[in-house]
């Protein structure tokens, strides 16, 4: 694992040897609410994690790692919306039903994955997890279970589930108490706002809830997660307390301030204009710690509202501003701006062609593609679209900086998948780039881009490379690309790789995800077998995540059996609980996808990294 440096680097990182998910990794970062598999050479995660458990060290050191400039980190943080296995599962079910209606049979294939209905979750999963939470004293099982309950419970269950979670706020295990606080927000119940506010403010009632007595404080991570939980509940009544916390918390307590900023950025209620005004004022305070300040532009981007464009553009154009803040400004502008904002497009294009800081430049690529993709009337803005297409073409074929090519490839996919006219120009360039590339990281980027564009003509080529290449950091993304294309001809190859005990944990997750994308009828049974036979943390984590992301109702019975098997290891049982939560998640995407998407992961404070680590 590469050591973290004390400041962000403006230099381009060398082409990576392994991907950030860790093709060579053999350990996971966390059980608790879940785990994000770490790399062997680099990681976005706190260095103090061990044995798959969350760190309990009260540190607020930002993690700046040079290789953040690699495209794989962006994909890892933003892939949920593109993979979205449960939506694909629903598409497959509808297609099967339509086929049955046309043939007069109307019977679904017995092997076709099918999502559980709310009644199944309420009768078969919630009572089971409540019983596990009440009877276990193992921290891995407890923090996995409370977050699973938070993500699957409907409005009708919130009172009962809250009653089961609140006692765990007083756990002596920090991973359990902080997961309990977070789970109350994942539940989304406004009735939990008062107790979360007490925890966040560390007042007498909050200390009582946390079992801290009169003198001891509420643990720092519980406070930070309580702030995030308030943002997840998304109620305007929490806004004044979050604003007050930001204004009164010492600059040294960066985690708490940053989590409050993130929480405000999650709001979609009527208080948004007030929050935008508050945030833009905060952004102008150059005395504010740079790491905390870097969370403001991305929060403004998620809040929406054109009032923030000018302040963000000013930050982006000020070369005296810290790199990490300018990086976030580039991200925020991509969410806020439209194709008519020529000044923004000019600024992003200038950074792409001549910007010094690598990550600011790479985020500018993504933002420019998003601005172009968001245009619903491209015929009215032909000149702007020609400019975007031309810039991406140039950076794919003849960039001034070699590292631009992978980001240009991803951006071409984000843009071209919406605008067929642009795709007609960009797809041939991506095919050439893929065919000619020898570096496994860049080749993987082009493969994923072709997958996002559903360029099935390249599927046999990518499949052949998968069979011939021994580079796991390429092969895992090749599997993802083939899954995105639904290239079922590769399913047998991918199944074999998924079962192979010698493959790394992240590679296994990528193969399992690929099978889910293909709606492979054997995927769930295969994964359940592997989970039951698993003897390592990494394999359990990868397989549990894949089972949960596919979301097939058939997995519930086996997962319950594994979670309740006292002869199984605590970690395997914990990951079975994680998978149950993922299978029954009431939202289309994982609850923390909105936090991970379009965040500046180079400013990853430990508390925020913990949030993104959760499956």
| DSSP secondary structure, 395-441, as one string | HHHS-SSTTHHHHHHHHHHHHHTT-HHHHHHHHHHHHHHHHH--SHH
Distance between CA atoms of residues 55 and 53, nearest Å: 6
Q: Are residues 567 and 26 in contact, defined by beta-carbon separation less than 8 angstroms?
A: no
* 563 Cβ contact list (under 8 Å, min separation 6): 128, 132, 141, 573, 576, 577, 580
CATH code of 73-613, in short, is 1.25.10.10
Of these ranges, 43-57, 263-277, 533-547, the one predicted with the greatest mean pLDDT is 263-277
Q: How far is CA 221 from the centre of its chain?
A: 20
- Give the highest mean pLDDT range of 14-23, 73-82, 420-429, 547-556: 420-429
Any bridge partners for residue 37, and if so which? 28
Nearest-angstrom CA–CA distance, 182 and 227: 9
Burial 117-139 (b: 16+ CB within 10 A, else e): eeeebbebbbebbbebbeebebb
Percent of the residues in the chain that have a pLDDT greater than 70, as a whole number: 84
Percent of the chain whose pLDDT exceeds 90? 67
Q: How confident is the model at residue 492 (pLDDT cuts 50, 70, 90)?
A: very high
Task: Indicate whether 100 pLDDT > 80.
Answer: no
Instruction: Give the max Cα distance, the chain.
Output: 71
Contact in structure between 194 and 208 (CB atoms under 8 Å)? no
What DSSP line would sit under 556-592, residue for residue?
HHHHHHHHT-TTS-HHHHHHHHHHHHHHT-SSSS-TT
Q: For residue 483, name the pLDDT band (cuts at 50, 70, 90).
A: very high
Residue 510 has pLDDT above 50, yes or no: yes
Cα separation values, 413 from 308, 407, 449, 451, 463, Å = 27, 10, 5, 9, 20
Q: Would you list the DSSP string of 231-264?
A: HHHT-GGGHHHHHHHHHHS-TT-HHHHHHHHHHH
- For residues 391, 392, 393, 396, the Cα torsion angle rounded to the nearest 10 degrees is 120
Q: What is the pLDDT of residue 105?
A: 36
Over residues 333-349, the mean pLDDT reads: 97
- DSSP H helices, 284-381, are 290-293, 295-303, 309-317, 323-336, 342-354, 358-373
> Among 351-365, 381-395, 508-522, which range has the highest average pLDDT?
381-395
CA dihedral 568, 572, 574, 575 (to 10 degrees): -150
Contacts 24+ apart (CB under 8 A), 388-391: 388/345, 388/415, 388/422, 389/415, 389/422, 389/425, 389/426, 391/349, 391/352, 391/353
Residue 28 scores a pLDDT above 60:
no
Q: What is the pLDDT of residues 344-377, one digit of tens each?
A: 999 999 999 987 899 999 999 999 999 999 999 9
Encode pLDDT of 528-545 as tens digits: 888 777 777 777 777 888
Rounded mean pLDDT, 455-481 = 96
**Quick one: average pLDDT of 12-41?**
35
Query: Contact at 8 Å (CB) between 580 and 45?
Result: no
Enter the pTM of the model.
Answer: 0.87
Q: Is the pLDDT of residue 90 over 80?
A: no
Helix, strand, coil % over all residues of the chain, rounded to 5: 65, 0, 30
Vertex 156, ends 155 and 159: CA angle to 5°? 90
Do residues 410 and 373 make contact, with C-beta atoms less than 8 angstroms apart?
Answer: no
The pLDDT, as a whole number, for residue 520 is 84
pLDDT band at 526 (very low <50, low <70, confident <90, very high): confident
Q: Does residue 11 surpass a pLDDT of 50?
A: no
Please give the Cα distance from 557 to 555 (Å, whole number). Answer: 6
**63: Cβ contacts below 8 Å, ≥ 6 apart:** 4, 44, 45, 46, 604, 605, 606, 609
Q: Which of 156, 218, 133, 147 is nearest to 184 (CA)?
A: 147
Residue 193: count of CB within 10 angstroms of its CB: 18
Nearest CA among 234, 238, 242, 324 for reference residue 288: 324
Burial class (CB in 10 A: 0-12, 13-18, 19+), 420: exposed
Residue 295 contacts residue 328 (beta carbons within 8 Å): yes
The residues near 610 (Cβ < 8 Å, ≥ 6 apart) are 30, 54, 178, 221, 225
Q: Classify burial at 382, counting beta carbons within 10 Å of its beta carbon; exposed 0-12, middle 13-18, buried 19 or more.
A: exposed
**According to DSSP H, which parts of 189-238 are helical?**
193-201, 204-209, 220-233
Q: What is the 3-state secondary structure (H, E, C) of 169-186?
A: HHCCCHHHHHHHHHHHHH
**What's the whole-number mean pLDDT along residues 497-511?**
88
Q: Report domain extents, the chain.
A: 73-613
Banded model confidence at residue 15, pLDDT cuts 50, 70, 90: very low
The most confident of the ranges 439-448, 492-501, 561-570 is 439-448
Distance of CA 569 to the CA centre of its chain: 27
CA 541 to CA 27: how far, in whole Å?
9
Distance CA 615, CA 147 (A): 10
State the Cα angle at 197 between 580 and 194, rounded to 5°. 85
Give per-residue pLDDT as tens, 219-269.
Answer: 999 999 999 999 999 999 999 999 999 999 998 899 999 999 999 999 999
Beta bridge partners of 518: none
């Amino acid at each position: 694992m590469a050591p973290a440096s004390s400041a962000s680097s403006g230099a381009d990182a060398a082409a990576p040897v392994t991907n950030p998910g860790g093709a060579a990794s053999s350990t996971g970062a966390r059980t608790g609410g879940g785990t994000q598999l770490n790399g062997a050479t680099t990681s976005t995660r706190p260095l103090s994690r061990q044995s798959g458990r969350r760190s309990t060290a009260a540190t607020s050191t930002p993690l700046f790692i040079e290789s953040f400039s690699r495209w794989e980190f962006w994909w890892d943080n933003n892939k949920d919306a593109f993979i979205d296995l449960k939506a694909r599962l629903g598409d497959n079910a509808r297609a099967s039903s339509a086929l049955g209606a046309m043939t007069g049979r109307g019977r679904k294939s017995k092997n076709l994955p099918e999502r559980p209905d709310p009644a199944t979750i309420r009768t078969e999963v919630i009572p089971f997890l409540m019983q596990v939470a009440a009877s276990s004293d193992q921290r891995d099982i407890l923090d996995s279970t409370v977050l699973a309950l938070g993500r699957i419970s409907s409005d009708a269950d919130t009172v009962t589930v809250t009653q089961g979670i609140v006692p765990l706020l007083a756990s002596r295990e920090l991973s359990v108490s902080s997961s309990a606080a977070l789970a109350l927000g994942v539940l989304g119940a406004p009735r939990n706002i008062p107790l979360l506010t007490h925890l966040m403010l560390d007042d007498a009632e909050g200390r009582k809830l946390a079992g801290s007595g009169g003198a001891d404080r509420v643990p720092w991570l519980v406070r930070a997660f309580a702030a995030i939980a308030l943002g997840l509940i998304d109620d305007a009544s929490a806004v004044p307390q979050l604003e007050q916390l930001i204004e009164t918390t010492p600059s040294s307590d960066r985690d708490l301030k940053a989590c409050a900023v993130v929480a405000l950025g999650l709001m979609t209620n009527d208080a948004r204009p007030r929050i935008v005004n508050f945030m833009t004022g905060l952004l102008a305070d150059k005395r504010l710690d740079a790491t905390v300040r870097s969370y403001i532009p991305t929060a403004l981007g998620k809040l929406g509202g054109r009032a923030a464009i000018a302040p963000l553009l000013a930050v982006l154009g000020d070369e005296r501003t810290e790199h990490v803040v300018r990086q976030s400004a580039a991200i925020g502008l991509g969410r806020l701006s439209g194709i008519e904002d020529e000044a923004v497009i000019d600024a992003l294009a200038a950074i792409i062609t001549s910007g010094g800081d690598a990550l600011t430049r790479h985020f500018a690529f993504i933002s420019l593609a998003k601005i172009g993709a968001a245009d619903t009337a491209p015929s009215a803005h032909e000149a702007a679209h020609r400019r975007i297409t031309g810039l991406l073409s140039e950076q794919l074929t003849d960039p001034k900086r070699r590292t631009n090519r992978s980001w240009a490839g991803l951006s071409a996919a984000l843009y071209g998948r919406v605008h067929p006219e642009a795709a007609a120009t960009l797809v041939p360039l991506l095919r050439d780039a893929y065919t000619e590339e020898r570096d496994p990281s860049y080749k993987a980027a082009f493969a994923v881009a072709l997958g996002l564009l559903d360029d099935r003509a390249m599927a046999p080529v990518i499949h052949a490379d998968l069979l011939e290449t021994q580079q796991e950091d390429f092969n895992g993304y090749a599997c993802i690309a083939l899954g995105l294309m639904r290239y079922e001809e590769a399913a047998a190859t991918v199944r074999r790789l998924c079962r192979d005990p010698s493959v790394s944990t992240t590679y296994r997750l990528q193969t399992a995800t690929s099978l889910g994308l293909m709606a492979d009828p054997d995927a769930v049974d295969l994964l359940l077998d592997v989970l039951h036979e698993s003897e390592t943390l990494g394999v359990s984590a990868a397989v549990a995540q894949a089972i949960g992301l596919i979301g097939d109702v058939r997995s519930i019975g086996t997962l319950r059996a594994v979670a309740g098997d006292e002869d199984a290891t605590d970690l395997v049982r914990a990951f079975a609980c994680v998978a149950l939560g993922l299978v029954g998640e009431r939202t289309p995407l994982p609850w923390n996808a909105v936090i991970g998407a379009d965040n500046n992961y180079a400013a990853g404070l430990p508390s925020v990294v913990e949030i993104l680590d959760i499956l």
